[in-house]
Amino acid sequence: MANCLIAAVEAIGAAIASNKEVLTSLDAAIGDADHGINMARGFQAVSGKLSTLAQTADAATVLKTVGMTLITTVGGASGPLYGTAFLRAAAAGQGKNTLSPSDVGNMLAAAIAGIKERGKAVRGEKTMLDALEPAYEAFKSAEQQGRSLVECLAAARESALDGVMFTKSIIATKGRASYLGERSLGHQDPGATSAYLIIAALEEFCRSQEQREE
Amino acid sequence: MMVGIVIVSHSAKIAEGICDLARQMGREGQIILPAGGMPDGGIGTDAMLIYKSLIDADDGDGVIVLADLGSAVLSTETAFEFLCEEQRSRVAIADAPVVEGAILATVQASVGAALPEVMEAAISARELKKV
């Protein structure tokens, strides 16, 4: 379990690292130009921490380690937000040694609830929630239709991307971008983009696992 | 015993500078601690650093936090989650301008006021007219 989940988190880290410049340039337009740098630094620290974990660690231990490390190393708002998300997902995955689509859905729901609580934000404010909430809805609906984890994540990734595109059409009312008011219009939200990248990386990782098993 | 004060900023220099300024208005032995920047010296806020300052600033009367922008508040609230329930009940963030709020909170705390009064003083900084 730990092996697979650690590899999944490494895949997320790799996606963040290779999109570091993209995220930072999106943030330069409406924020403080550090989202990519911060996230890449955070996931690099995560990678170091995970390498010290025992192979027998359960899902909750892995995710808790990710959350704590992001909280202490990211620096921007995305640190406490994603950190809280992983801690809440850890709590939802307590004691699990395999993860069904329904488990993953519950963990995603807990993560989103954590982000909303920490950021006191709702959908439509030009934040990561504009990618995450539609992604969760698509995931849940696929899961209820009995689809596989990869199919659920594919549905989630598509809706997350729609959500990212939607952020271009709205004005930021949360975070640093809200200081720009109308000037934030037309710009894609960096937080929604990193949320999309995380989901896309998870889908790609699970797909590669599935192909390996075949 | 006095209410402790913690200054959270993205910049270590801002946090330390505000503490220096506030201490001029405070009393000897009053605890006013900075929690600014990242461990590597970069710009950002670190919930664990804030957590340590909250522990160090609390002599039993509680702690009031003055924070700068956005994620300073998020990181502070995250730090609160790591406190034991007892200490968590006596920490609070003042929704106030960080410099003026710190000064007013310091003065109020220095006369031995309790947490709610220190909070009220900090928040009253929102009404301060400078010009």
Amino acid of residue B19: C
User: Taking the domain A1-211, which CATH number applies?
Assistant: 1.25.40.340
Residue B95 contacts A, CB cutoff 8 Å? no
Q: Report CA dihedral (A104, A149, A50, A128) to the nearest 10 degrees.
A: -60
* Intra-chain end-to-end CA distance of chain B, in Å: 36
Put simply, the answer to whether B47 touches A72 (Cβ < 8 Å) is: yes
Residue A78: per-residue pLDDT = 95
Put simply, the answer to whether A176 touches B47 (Cβ < 8 Å) is: no
Question: Which one is predicted more confidently, A51 or B1?
Answer: A51
Residue A1: per-residue pLDDT = 62
HSE, CB side, 13 Å, CA atoms: give it for residue A180. Answer: 20
Residues in Cβ contact with A194 at an 8 Å cutoff, skipping those fewer than 6 apart:
A16, A19, A23, A35, A39, A78, A128
Alpha carbon of A17: minimum distance to chain B alpha carbons (Å): 19
Put simply, the answer to whether B71 touches A77 (Cβ < 8 Å) is: yes
Alpha carbon of B11: minimum distance to chain A alpha carbons (Å): 11
Q: What is the pLDDT of residues B9-52, one digit of tens each?
A: 999 999 999 999 999 999 999 999 999 999 989 999 999 999 99
Determine the average pLDDT of the residues in B109-114.
96
Pick A71's closest partner by Cβ from B42, B47, B69. Answer: B47
Residue B32: per-residue pLDDT = 98
Token pair of B21 as six digits? 């300024």
Put simply, the answer to whether B75 touches A38 (Cβ < 8 Å) is: no
* Residue of B8, B71, B76 to mutate, testing the A interface (most A Cβ within 10 Å of its Cβ): B71
Q: What is the pLDDT of residues A7-35, one digit of tens each?
A: 999 999 999 999 999 999 999 999 989 99
Whole-number Cα distances in Å, A30 to A5, A78, A177, B13: 33, 15, 5, 25
Residue A84 and residue A66 in contact, taking contact as beta carbons nearer than 8 Å? no
Residue B46 and residue A70 in contact, taking contact as beta carbons nearer than 8 Å? no
Phi/psi of residue A78, nearest 5 degrees: -65, -20
Please report which confidence band the pLDDT of residue B88 belongs to, taking 50, 70 and 90 as the band edges.
very high
The residues of B carrying an active-site annotation are: 10
The pTM for the full model equals: 0.91
Please report which confidence band the pLDDT of residue B86 belongs to, taking 50, 70 and 90 as the band edges.
very high
Q: What is residue B6's DSSP assignment?
A: E
Residue B11 contacts A, CB cutoff 8 Å? no
Give the span between the Cα atoms of B23 and B100, in whole angstroms.
13
Task: Tell me the average pLDDT of chain A.
Answer: 95
Amino acid of residue B79: A
% of residues, chain A, pLDDT over 90: 88
Whole-number Cα distances in Å, A13 to A96, A120, A145, A206: 23, 26, 30, 15
